[in-house]
Amino acid sequence: MNEYLTLSLILFTIGSVGVLVRRNAIVVFMCIELMLNATNLALVSFSRQHGNLDGQVAAFFVMVVAAAEVVVGLAIIVSIYRTRRSISVDDASLLKS
């Protein structure tokens, strides 16, 4: 049980570092997906630990929300790319004076 939790935490940390370090918006998005997946692993492990299926239902909901989030996020990235010809997160700084 603790091994699964540790693996999940390691993956979550790698994902969060990736979000902070990477510049490409799509790769940043992938790192967010990695974090969501890591939490899913923790939820499934807790479900087995406690012997009820609520954790698996929660993981299922996380998957649904992640799918919706990816659809909208990628549409935003495509529309930003269409106007600015770049998907670097540094270039989207229009609000900065």
Partner 1 sequence: MTAFWLLSPLMVVAALGLIFARKAVHAALCLAVVMISLAVLYAAQDAPFLFAVQIIVYTGAIMMLFLFVLMLVGVDVSDSVRETIAGQRLLATVLGLGFGIVAVLAIGQTVTGIVVGLDEANAHGNPYGLAKLLFGRYVLAFEFTSALLITAALGAMVLAHKERLAKPRTQADLAAQRMRDYAESGRHPGNPPTPGVFARHNAVDTPALLPDGSPLEESISESIVARGQLREGYDDDIDEVRRQLERSDEPGGDEK
CB 80 within 8 A of CB 25: yes
CB 31 within 8 A of CB 15: yes
Residues in the chain: 97
Cβ 1 to partner 1, closest distance in Å?
5
Does the footprint of partner 1 cover residue 9 (CB under 8 A)? yes
Output the CA–CA distances (angstroms, integers) from residue 93 to 16, 17, 60, 96, in the order listed.
22, 21, 35, 6
- DSSP for residue 89: T
Contact code string over 19-58 relative to partner 1, x by CB under 8 A: -xxxxx-xx-xxx-xx--x--xx--xx-xxxxxxxx-xx-
The residue type at 61? F
Tokens of 61: 């909901």
Residues in contact with partner 1, total (CB under 8 A)? 69
> Taking CB under 8 A as the criterion, which residues in 55-84 touch partner 1?
56-57, 59-61, 63-72, 74-79, 81-82
Contact residues toward partner 1 (CB under 8 A) are 1-7, 9-18, 20-24, 26-27, 29-31, 33-34, 37, 40-41, 44-45, 47-54, 56-57, 59-61, 63-72, 74-79, 81-82, 86-88, 90
